[in-house]
């Protein structure tokens, strides 16, 4: 050893520093224990000839940290006191605690860890439908889509009576209800596929079927109902005998549902029976006006403690038959003209037996927990399904439209500007489907990933809103002109609905994804908070020591992976290896930075939503990229799909880069944190994670979307209702599209001949005749071109109305001939 010490003294200083830093970084990145650190620091410092006092001081600190009883007394107890005094860790209310503890941690935990096991994430299910679910899609779902006329639904303000009858008869309202209660007992993926396909025909159809299957009486009963409640209500809900709704939102309690003022009071009636008296005023309740069974959330009080618990049990869910005296239904809101029932509902002194509390007397006060747990999973099904179905349909329509619509003599999709928008629609549609299936797979495995659900809901609705905007741009005036021929406007108009419901998006991004993620997915933060609150030094000491190790490991990993641009990460092999490396690199940097932000801002971080929003973006895109990688692997690494995956992944990484840049720019850290982050910012811009996909990748996607065949179908046909009848706008467009592609091939030959002056220039029909006469094309081919021209003309036609006809439509839609509106403007004449 002595000789080695001597040898190292001959190494130049810069090399010594480099070697020492490398050794310490490797140790840190490997996640060495404190004991190993103590030994290694002592040995390395001695070997490199560092001053003895420094060596001994640092080694002594590490030894103290390595011996729990000493660490507890000398270190952790003081940290605990300091944290309490500085109020650095946020105080968590009871309702927040329930929300935080709802559901489970899954891929989000891996990505939050800084060292994700990507092999494991690539083994997670990416499943297929069961045979009976596929059959239901091919028959019942196909039939109801055929039965539904979306335009007429908007005109009538409701689905046709026969559509409602079929929905009930075929148990669309009982997709999630177990078979033993007469429901269809579908998997989460099956449920998602049905909602997704219904939405490709008509949004009101999808919403009407989706709401009874999402958070509401059925789901709450399945998980928390008493046997008696399940036996009575579930078969009635499955068969459509009962139409459910769920009332949570109130005029004063929207995002902050805990602020509700609806009440339930326990009392004994004159016969000594335990009852609950309910008073409520709810709004935005889907299916409210036509419901027969209301799942109602109220704040319950039990002043005489008749239920044997607290006098204020709190939020409770009650089943209210709509026919009970005191219940008022019968009005509806108008959600952007989308004709599904969305209603105010109220109740005055509605008296029911306590047996109507979901879960019976034991369910009193459990409402918040029930809602949070169900929302934790449910958020990832309905809205991602509807958004993804919509995106696939949009991609199919707009790819065809961009081929069929010709301007300046060529298909508009051939212009790079349009191709750019097409590429985004294609790439992001690939991503949405990946996210939908990957997330449903976790649910079917029994996981209830709360943070991932929020990620899926937020991003699906945001991305699909963005895609429909691009599609509207491409479709030009035909997207804007309303009427039966318009295929996109209803999706465009309805986009904000998905954004608002089940946790409005701004709040979901800035509060839930990172707020809940930082506490739930972080391996130690929540343990520390709970220990701090309980004053439990032993638990705090263990968690805090591990937390420090976690920060050191992630800091070292982040530095090594950043310097090596991810190349040193241990990741799965294969064509996507480079992306796995970047994902590992991102995860390490994210985890390290999240700890810095939490440590430096503490409880203030909760209110720095511009910061938490950016962290949420990084976590979201890491998850979405993981889902895309999983899809690519699960589908057999098909090279024809590579451009779609590349586009989505590179888009994701460039969004992550933006979020990191924003964090470095805006995180307020005490000295010298600000200066260090300024360096990080400089380095991050110089050493960017990725740039968006190149133009060539985008062109490949645009071409694939405008070319009939397997690639287009894999992206846009599965789970999309595709009417073939040319009387239907979508059938007409598809027919024109296929003809147009065939005609373009023929015309390529003809145009070549014109350029070579083999045939004279002229009007299109003259050129075609000359080509036919010259034997350049057959008569059959000439007819194909002719039919294609006619089909394309019809496919891009828009509706127009006689002046009177139009006025009548407006009167019908808005006033029904008589102004019976209620609300702020009702009294304003002509408003
Ligand atoms: C069509 C439709 C159907 C619905 N169906 C039902 C139903 O069946 N049952 C039911 O109970 N409810 C239903 N809702 C209610 C829905 O869940 C609420 O609209 C939603 O929770 C938001 O409440 P709010 O509209 O009052 O918005 P607000 O709470 O007023 O929020 C307004 C904006 O502020 C943002 N915001 C609020 N707080 C924060 C915060 N802390 N940080 C950052 N941003 C914040 C929100 O993200 C939102 O963008 C429905 C709503 C609609 C529009």
Which of 207, 367, 501, 611 gets mutated to test ligand 1 (max ligand atoms within 8 A of its CB)?
Answer: 501
pLDDT (mean) for 306-319 = 96
C-alpha closest to that of 298 among 208, 223, 370? 370
Minimal-distance CA residue to ligand 1 atom 36: 507
Q: Please, which residues have CB within 8 angstroms of residue 669's CB and are 6 or more apart in sequence?
A: 596, 600, 676, 677
Tell me, what's the pLDDT at 659? 97
Question: Strand locations in 198-341, DSSP E?
Answer: 244-247, 263-268, 274-286, 293-301, 314-321, 327-328
For residues 445 and 666, the answer to whether their CB atoms sit within 8 Å is no
Residue positions annotated with a catalytic role: 502
Which of 254, 461, 499 gets mutated to test ligand 1 (max ligand atoms within 8 A of its CB)?
Answer: 254
- Rounded CA-CA distance 189/439 in Å is 9
For residues 823 and 344, the answer to whether their CB atoms sit within 8 Å is no
Helix (H) or strand (E) holding 751, with range, is helix 729-755
Q: How many CB atoms lie within 10 A of CB 330?
A: 11
Phi, psi of 319 (to 5 degrees): -95, 115
Minimal-distance CA residue to ligand 1 atom 17: 501
The fraction of the chain above a pLDDT of 70, given in percent, is 96
Tell me, what's the pLDDT at 824? 58
Tell me, what's the pLDDT at 366? 95
Minimal-distance CA residue to ligand 1 atom 16: 501
Is pLDDT of 481 > 70? yes
The alpha carbon of 507 and the centre of ligand 1 are apart by a number of angstroms equal to 9
Phi, psi of 327 (to 5 degrees): -85, 130
C-alpha closest to that of 302 among 353, 276, 265? 265
pLDDT tens per residue, range 126-177 = 999 999 999 999 999 999 999 999 999 999 999 999 999 999 999 999 999 9
Of ligand 1's listed atoms, the one at least distance from the Cα of 288 is 8
Going from the C-alpha of 444 to that of each of 67, 186, 441, 454, the distances in angstroms are 44, 10, 5, 17
Of ligand 1's listed atoms, the one at least distance from the Cα of 282 is 11
Residues 329-333: contacts with CB within 8 Å, 24+ apart?
A: 329/288, 329/289, 329/290, 329/291, 330/289, 331/289, 331/822, 332/288, 332/289, 333/283, 333/284
Of ligand 1's listed atoms, the one at least distance from the Cα of 340 is 1
Is pLDDT of 6 > 60? no
Chain-wide mean pLDDT for the chain?
92
Radius of gyration of the chain (CA): 31
C-alpha closest to that of 154 among 201, 211, 213? 201
Q: How far apart are the first and last CA of the chain?
A: 91
Tell me, what's the pLDDT at 545? 93
- Rounded CA-CA distance 14/378 in Å is 57
The alpha carbon of 424 and the centre of ligand 1 are apart by a number of angstroms equal to 29
pLDDT tens per residue, range 25-42 = 888 898 888 888 888 888
Is pLDDT of 178 > 50? yes
- Rounded CA-CA distance 151/482 in Å is 10
The band of 830, judged by pLDDT with boundaries at 50, 70 and 90, is: very low
Antiparallel, parallel or unpaired: β 410-411 and 406-407: antiparallel
Of ligand 1's listed atoms, the one at least distance from the Cα of 335 is 1
Minimal-distance CA residue to ligand 1 atom 45: 507
DSSP line for 722-736: ----TTSHHHHHHHH
Half-sphere exposure of 572 (CA within 13 A, CB side): 18
pLDDT tens per residue, range 615-649 = 999 999 999 999 999 999 999 999 999 999 999 99
Helix (H) or strand (E) holding 456, with range, is helix 450-480
- Rounded CA-CA distance 756/753 in Å is 5
Pick left, alpha or beta for residue 599 (phi over 0 → left; psi -120 to 50 → alpha; otherwise beta).
Answer: alpha
CA 391 remoteness from chain centre: 13
Of ligand 1's listed atoms, the one at least distance from the Cα of 245 is 8
Pocket of ligand 1 from Cβ distances under 6 Å: 246-249, 254-255, 284-286, 335, 342, 497, 500-501, 504, 506-507, 510-511, 609
Minimal-distance CA residue to ligand 1 atom 41: 507
Is pLDDT of 558 > 60? yes
Antiparallel, parallel or unpaired: β 327-328 and 263-268: unpaired
For residues 73 and 105, the answer to whether their CB atoms sit within 8 Å is no
Minimal-distance CA residue to ligand 1 atom 25: 254
pLDDT tens per residue, range 71-107 = 999 999 999 998 888 777 777 778 888 888 888 999 9
For residues 302 and 266, the answer to whether their CB atoms sit within 8 Å is yes
């Amino acid at each position: 050893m002595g000789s080695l010490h001597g040898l190292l003294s001959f190494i130049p200083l810069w090399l010594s520093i480099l070697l020492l830093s490398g050794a310490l970084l490797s140790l840190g990145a490997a996640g060495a224990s404190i004991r190993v650190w103590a030994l290694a620091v002592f040995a390395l410092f001695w070997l490199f000839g560092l001053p003895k006092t420094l060596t001994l001081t640092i080694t002594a600190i590490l030894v103290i940290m390595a011996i729990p009883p000493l660490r507890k007394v000398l270190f952790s107890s003081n940290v605990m006191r300091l944290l309490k005094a500085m109020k650095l860790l946020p105080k968590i209310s009871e309702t927040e605690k329930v929300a935080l503890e709802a559901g489970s941690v899954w891929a989000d935990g891996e990505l939050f860890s800084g060292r994700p096991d990507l092999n494991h994430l690539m083994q997670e299910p990416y499943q297929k439908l069961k045979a009976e679910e596929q059959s239901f899609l091919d028959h019942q779902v196909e039939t109801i889509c055929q039965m539904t006329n979306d335009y007429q639904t908007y005109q009538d303000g409701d689905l046709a009576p026969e559509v409602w009858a079929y929905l009930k008869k075929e148990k669309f309202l009982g997709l999630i209800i177990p078979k033993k209660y007469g429901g269809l007992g579908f998997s989460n993926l099956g449920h998602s596929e049905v909602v997704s396909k219904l939405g490709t025909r008509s949004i009101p159809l999808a919403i009407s079927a989706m709401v009874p299957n999402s958070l509401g009486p059925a789901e709450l009963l399945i998980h928390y109902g008493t046997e008696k409640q399940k036996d009575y209500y579930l078969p009635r809900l499955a068969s459509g005998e009962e139409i459910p709704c769920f009332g949570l939102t109130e005029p004063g309690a929207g995002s902050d549902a805990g602020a509700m003022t609806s009440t339930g009071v326990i009392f004994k009636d004159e016969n000594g029976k335990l009852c609950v008296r309910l008073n409520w005023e709810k709004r935005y309740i889907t299916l409210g006006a036509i419901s027969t069974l209301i799942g109602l959330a109220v704040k319950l009080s039990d002043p005489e403690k008749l239920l044997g618990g607290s006098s204020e049990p709190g939020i409770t869910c009650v089943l209210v038959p709509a026919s009970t005296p005191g219940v008022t239904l019968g009005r509806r809101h108008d959600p952007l003209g989308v004709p599904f029932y969305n209603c105010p509902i109220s109740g005055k002194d509605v008296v029911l037996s306590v047996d109507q509390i979901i879960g019976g007397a034991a369910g009193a006060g459990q409402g918040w927990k029930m809602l949070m747990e169900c929302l934790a999973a449910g958020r990832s099904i309905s809205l991602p399904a509807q958004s993804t179905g919509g995106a696939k349909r949009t991609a199919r329509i707009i790819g065809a439209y961009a081929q069929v619509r010709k301007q300046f003599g060529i298909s508009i999709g051939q212009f790079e500007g349009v191709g750019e928008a097409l590429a985004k629609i294609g790439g992001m549609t690939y991503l949405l489907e990946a996210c939908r299936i990957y997330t449903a797979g976790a649910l079917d495995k029994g996981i209830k990933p709360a943070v991932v659900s929020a990620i899926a809901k937020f991003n699906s609705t945001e991305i699909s809103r963005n895609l429909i905007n691009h599609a509207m741009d491409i479709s030009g005036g035909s997207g804007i002109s309303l009427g039966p021929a318009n295929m996109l406007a209803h999706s465009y108009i309805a986009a904000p609905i998905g954004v608002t419901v089940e946790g409005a998006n701004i709040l979901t991004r800035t509060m839930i994804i990172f707020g809940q993620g930082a506490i739930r997915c972080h391996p130690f933060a929540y343990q520390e908070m709970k220990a701090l609150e309980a004053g439990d030094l032993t638990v705090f000491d263990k968690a805090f020591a591990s937390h420090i190790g976690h920060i050191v490991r992630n800091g070292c990993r982040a530095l090594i992976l950043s310097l090596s641009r991810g190349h040193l990460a241990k990741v799965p092999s294969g064509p996507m290896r480079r992306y796995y490396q970047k994902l590992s690199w991102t995860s390490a940097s994210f985890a390290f930075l999240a700890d810095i932000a939490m440590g430096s801002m503490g409880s203030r971080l909760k209110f720095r939503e511009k910061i938490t929003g950016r962290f949420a973006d990084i976590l979201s895109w890491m998850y979405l990229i993981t889902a895309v990688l999983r899809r690519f692997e699960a589908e057999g690494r098909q090279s024809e799909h590579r451009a779609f995956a590349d586009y989505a992944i590179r888009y994701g990484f460039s969004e992550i880069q933006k979020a990191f840049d924003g964090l470095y720019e805006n995180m307020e850290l005490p000295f010298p944190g600000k200066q260090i982050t300024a360096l990080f910012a400089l380095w991050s811009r110089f050493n960017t994670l990725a740039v968006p996909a190149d133009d060539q990748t985008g062109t490949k996607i645009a071409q694939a979307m405008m070319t009939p065949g397997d690639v287009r179908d894999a992206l846009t046909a599965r789970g999309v209702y595709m009417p073939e009848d040319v009387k239907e706008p979508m059938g007409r467009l598809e027919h024109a599209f296929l003809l147009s592609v065939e005609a373009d091939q023929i015309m390529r030959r003809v145009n070549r001949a014109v350029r070579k002056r083999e045939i004279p220039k002229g009007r299109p029909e003259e050129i075609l005749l000359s080509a036919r006469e010259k034997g350049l094309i057959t008569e059959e081919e000439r007819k194909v071109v002719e039919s294609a021209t006619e089909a394309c003309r019809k496919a891009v036609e828009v509706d127009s109305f006689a002046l009177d006809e139009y006025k009548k439509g407006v009167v019908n839609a808005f006033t029904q001939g008589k102004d019976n509106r209620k609300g702020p403007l009702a009294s304003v004449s002509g408003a």
